[in-house]
Amino acid sequence: MNHELLNHFNNFFNGATPECPNCVEIQFLPRERDILTRDPEHVKAVLTTQFADFGKGEEFHELWRPFLGDSIFTTDGQLWHDSRSMIRPMFIKDRVSDLATFERWVSVLLTALPPSGQTVDIMDLFYRMTLDVTTDFLLGASVDSLRNPKGEFVEAFNDVQRIQMMLTTVGPFRSLISRRAYNEGIRKIEQFIMPYIEQAMALPQEELEKLSNSDKHFTFLHSIARYTRNRQVLRDQIIAVLLAGRDTTAATLSWAFYELSHYPEKYGRLRDEILNSVGRTRTPTYEDLKNMSYLRHTLNETLRLYPAVPFNIRSALEDTTLPSTPGNPPIAVVKGDVVVYSTLSMHRRKDLYPPISEKFEDPAIFSPERWENWTPKPWQYLPFNGGPRICVGQNFAMTEMAYCMVRILQKYERIEYRGNWYAQQIETEIVGKPKQGVKVALYEESARTVGNLEPFTI
């Protein structure tokens, strides 16, 4: 509630024993045991080497079912496998490398930015843009959030996420939280989505089969409708991918511009790379984006400091163990125990990094340059999870973020932060985002510095 998630996690680990410095046991109620870890070997065990021993579990499934149903994020076993098989075809390279959807909505975002030198909360625009991109990609029709920021769907989607995270984190006290706004929000989300599902269901199977990934009218909904005619399954997968596609990308873009606004030389270096690659006006291709190394390093560094999902939860599906430090017995994990692993805390463990030097900045500092001479060891950098549950939309997200950054930096020569940079906090709902927003002024190349003008509102 105080937006001090990193301190909260680290305070737990400050009480750990020397034999097990990065893993602690927490127990509030009888028969409810949580294991909190930031040990890469534990994360590796949970996500890959002992994958079958851990899953979302029935309690998590039931808690999230009203929102995400039986989707890829709430299920285990065959249900999870079927969901992933259904979703994967829409995230192949040929589909992701078609940048027309990104260009359409980034262009709208650019027109929504205020005149040069005026203040804008760019985080708000990023959240609206990624919602437009994702609904367009999923359904072939957008909520048009950039032009209609106060739409009923947008408010409902935000309310449901906020309450869902509260229900998840308060544990045994969740019965004290009112679900009225939660249930009403889900109803409004479904009111928006279901007509598109009905349209897809009205298409004969042979017509769906004729559509191909190269068809510009072919959507994510068309793709999964070829696998199932079950309306509930379609609804669950659409909402799950909508959640993953909107918030994670918007939050990461927000953190990137927050950090770049504090380091003019890094912003300048990134812009130089972009202009040298695609100039001031040319739309970048997929290959252009892949070839810009400093752009890639900037996104990697942002995700290192601010992994979009700052912690994750797995339940033990069987009696099992977690690996321990050399010379100590394995850590017993009983069926039903919950393992909470924090990528936010793990990514900031200084002992996992090389010593600070001229070539390697303090790990707490934003430094894209560190990626030029350093590669994280396996399982120490996991912004997209790992193992069989690794994010299926990773390439889509990275391409969308890179494209958006290129188009903005092509137009704007410099950026200036207009808030208290040091007062920023990580606000955690389902995704960790900047609590204060990201209030900046962007300056076009030909514009003169005009000082602090009145804040621009949309």
CA–CA distance, 451 with 205 (Å, rounded to integer)? 60
Question: pTM for the complete prediction?
Answer: 0.92
Residue 434's SS3 state is strand
Stated as kind and residue range, the H or E segment containing 439 is strand 439-444
User: What pLDDT score was predicted for residue 452?
Assistant: 47
Lookup: tokens for 243: 């959640």
Which regions in the chain score pLDDT beneath 50?
447-458
CA–CA distance, 137 with 154 (Å, rounded to integer)? 17
Q: What CA–CA distances, in Å, run from 368 to 113, 206, 279, 335, 398? A: 26, 49, 22, 42, 16
391 is in an annotated binding site: yes
Residue 442's SS3 state is strand
Q: How many Cα atoms sit within 13 Å of 7 on the Cβ side? A: 7
CA–CA distance, 9 with 426 (Å, rounded to integer)? 13
CA–CA distance, 113 with 111 (Å, rounded to integer)? 6
Lookup: tokens for 60: 């998590």
Residue linked to tokens 């909904």? 221
Residue 144 C-alpha from the chain's centroid: 21
- Three-state SS for 38-66 is CCHHHHHHHHHHCHHHEECHHHHHHHHHH
- Phi first, then psi: give them for residue 21, nearest 5 degrees: -75, -15
Domain residue spans of the chain: 5-444
Stated as kind and residue range, the H or E segment containing 82 is helix 77-87
DSSP 145: T
What are 367-393's pLDDT values in tens digits? Answer: 999 999 999 999 999 999 999 999 999
**Whether the Cβ atoms of residue 129 and residue 105 lie closer than 8 Å to each other:** yes
User: What pLDDT score was predicted for residue 214?
Assistant: 54
CA–CA distance, 193 with 184 (Å, rounded to integer)? 15
Q: What CA–CA distances, in Å, run from 285 to 137, 253, 405, 423? A: 18, 19, 13, 37
User: What pLDDT score was predicted for residue 450?
Assistant: 43
CA–CA distance, 438 with 407 (Å, rounded to integer)? 18
User: What pLDDT score was predicted for residue 428?
Assistant: 82
Q: So what's the architecture of 5-444 in CATH?
A: Orthogonal Bundle (1.10)
